[in-house]
Structure 1
Amino acid sequence: MAKSSITKAVIPAAGLGTRFLPATKAMPKEMLPVVDTPAIQYVVQEAVDAGLHDVLLVTGRNKNALENHFDRAAELEASLEKKGDVDKLRKVNFSTELADIHYVRQGDPKGLGHAVLRARPHVGNESFAVLLGDDIIDQRDPLLAKMLTVAEKQHTSVVALLEVDPSQIHLYGAAAVETTDDPQVVKITGMVEKPKAEDAPSNYAIIGRYVLRPEIFNILEHTAPGKGGEIQLTDALQTMAEGPDWMGGVYGVVFRGRRYDTGDRLDYLKSIVRIAADREDLGPDFRHWLIEYASALPEQIPANEVLPDPSTGTIPVIHNA
């Protein structure tokens, strides 16, 4: 695949992570570990694998741990080097040298569209990628590289789409689409942010990967706040999809690979299990234990053995299986 002329990636990372309280009271949700690596590092790695080495993190208050993770840790490095722990030293240095990472504060939390707009001084008049930190795309199923190819071929903006059950479409932005000669690529004719199932134009859900033309910045500047009083990127993309040719239109790449959602507690746990089971170093032993554990797992845990919620000390309500 030819090298893309697009070189910059923007990763919004200013969210409060309230779904994971109290863990995120003092730690950014992006730093929650997926096995032994922070979720944010998987996302940066994906950008780098697609040839995007210039990465801008749009952060907020209490996000210093993100900068620390990708910065040098001189005392830790010296300690590991003194102990001769080459493997751990390599891991520490890997995150430091992964990409050319920059930071900007979002300030007021006015939505994803506002976070993207904050990237304008860094991006300039270039096309760029946006990667949301809650989605981890399996490196064996590259998505971003395909999106970059489509963006350059069609001179357009591109979003990632996932076919979901109609009952779940209200959790996503939904796209109205037209087919193209590539079964993995569609032309987007309209978008609706988190519609009811009966109002959705399709069951194609917009997931957290975008390649955007710089025209998006002018559109975002004139986009009125939408749901929740926030500037919605979906609304700006809707304007682009319906706009004149100079805006470039919007295409979608339909993703059918492995995706891990770390923004929801249950899906976060599933992500850890799936990734750990596939790891070369941990997988064999972990799969063996997991099979044994699952085979002995009862449909319902006895009431006197149910663990309390450690964040509140209360025992959750038991539902019949």
Structure 2
Amino acid sequence: MKQITKAVIPAAGLGTRFLPAIKACPKEMLPIVDKPTIQYIIEDSGIKDILIISGHNKRSIEDHFDRNPELELNLEEHGKADLLEQVKAIADINIHYIRQKEPKGLGHAILCAKSFVGDEPFAVLLGDDVVYNDENPCLKQLIDVYNTYGGSVLGCQTVPQEKVSSYGIVASEATAAERIFKVNDMVEKPAVDEAPSRLAVLGRYVITPEIFSILERTEPGRGGEIQLTDALKVLAKQQNMYAYDFIGRRYDVGDKQGYLEATVEYALRREDLKDNFLEYLKKVVK
């Protein structure tokens, strides 16, 4: 099997739930403590060859991952070696960009990556989902499943019944391996009483390249957009597809509650912040 060496990050969405903050700042650049959300996603991927599907008003993403000689010189002159190292490391990742010129949905965004991916399996990481696992990153877990079983792998977790209408839900059957399920079907945002399970796809995928020919034939679906879920349903009929119940704390940073939880919990994991910040929180909640 070919190895996973490329990742695609769709980042063309408007993120209107965070207006007015994102009027001039892409939602992917909203910071969790002191690092943009998209940087957490890229660093946790472990992949060095990444395509970002961008849109209008997303130029600051490109600027962030570019070199900034003036800033680097300033940090060097002031002896801020740690910060200088961090800033240089950001620019070391091999990032490509292409613009999704029309808002035709997630499936269309992935189709924009066809020439970048070619005939290789690839990873997809959605910008609204940050997953914390400091020992075994989420995408690495999915890649391990792919390396063992082949076929596309969907990163999933079980969600409360009342939340199933917010996600793509998997109909599956158990395999001999713990946490790994064979996908039979998928339903995009089903009604609560019609969901085939509570196993939801949460923003991480390993997908085989056959998805592109399917996407080219996929008609607009829910919301008048080309849905990735619709194409994955077809792919699951053609070849084995697996849902993996990944291990990690997942944050929906496209939601204000999820974003706040991520900010607080990432701050509490920082040795330089946690003690004083925890004392502050204790005072606030009295």
Same fold (TM over 0.5): yes
Counterpart Cα distance in 2 of 1:167 and 1:59: 32
Instruction: Give the one of 253, 269, 275 matched to 2:244.
Output: 253
Counterpart in 1 of 2:10? 12
Write the distance in 2 (CA, Å) between the matches of 1:257 and 1:153: 20
**Mapped partners of 1:60, 1:213: distance in 2:** 25
Distance (Å, rounded) in 2 between the aligned partners of 1:250 and 1:230: 23
The CA distance in 2 between the partners of 1:78 and 1:139, in whole Å, is: 34
Aligned amino acid, residue 155 of structure 1: G
Q: Distance in 2 between matches of 1:173 and 1:194?
A: 5
CA distance in 1 between partners of 2:216 and 2:131 (Å): 30
1:205 counterpart (200, 204, 217)? 200
1:115 aligns with 2:109: yes
Give the number of the structure with larger relative contact order, counting CA–CA contacts within 8 Å between residues 6 or more apart: 2
Deviating above 3 A after TM superposition, structure 1's stretches of 4 or more consecutive aligned residues are none
SS in 1 for 2:22: helix
Please tell me the residue identity of whatever aligns with 2:281.
L
Distance 2:137 2:29 in 1: 23
Shift of 1:292: 2.7
Distance (Å, rounded) in 2 between the aligned partners of 1:125 and 1:242: 20
Alignment of 1:228-247 (within 5 A): 228-243=223-238
1:130 aligned partner: 124
In structure 1, the partner of 2:22 is 24
Following TM superposition, by how much is the alpha carbon of 1:257 offset from its aligned partner in structure 2, in angstroms?
Answer: 2.0
Unaligned runs of 5+ in 1: 297-321
Tell me which residue corresponds to 1:308: none
Q: CA deviation at 1:192?
A: 0.3
CA contact (8 A) 2:142 2:246 kept: no
Q: Give 1:145's aligned amino acid.
A: K
Q: Which residue of 1 aligns with 2:265?
A: 274
- Report deviation, 1:5: 1.7
Q: What are the Cα deviations for residues 143-185 of structure 1, in whole angstroms up to 9, with x where unaligned?
A: 2112112223222001011101110000001000100111111
2:107 aligned partner, one-letter code? G
Give the Cα separation in 1 of the matches to 2:201 and 2:4.
21
Task: List per-residue Cα deviations over 1:37-85 (Å, max 9, x = no partner).
Answer: 000000100112xxx2111000011111000000001111111111112
Equivalent residues of 2:10, 2:125 under 8 A apart: yes
Percent identity over paired residues:
50
Letter in 2 for 1:184: R
Q: Which secondary structure does the structure 2 equivalent of 1:23 belong to? A: coil
Output the CA distance in 2 between the equivalents of 1:23 and 1:194. Answer: 27
Q: Deviations over 1:198-234 (max 9, x none)?
A: 1100000111000000000001111111101111011
CA apart distance, 1:291:
2.1
Match of 2:97 in 1: 103
1:288 aligns with 2:286: no
Cα drift, residue 23 of structure 1: 0.8
Q: Distance in 2 between matches of 1:72 and 1:164?
A: 40
Taking the aligned partners of 1:230 and 1:151, their CA distance within structure 2 comes to 28
Cα distance in structure 1, aligned partners of 2:170 and 2:133: 25
Greater mean deviation of Cα atoms: 32-41 or 131-140: 131-140
Distance 1:205 1:5 in 2: 26
3-state SS of 1:41 partner: helix
Of 205, 211, 219, which residue of structure 1 is paired with 2:214? 219
Aligned to 2:254: 263
- Which residue matches 2:33? 35
Read off the aligned partner of 1:271 and give its amino acid letter: A
> Are the counterparts in 1 of residues 141 and 246 from structure 2 also a CA contact under 8 Å?
no
> What is the CA-CA distance between 1:255 and the residue it aligns to?
2.2
* 2:84 pairs with 1:86: no
Does residue 62 of the first structure (1) align with residue 44 of the second (2)?
no
Tell me the TM-score normalised to structure 1 length: 0.86
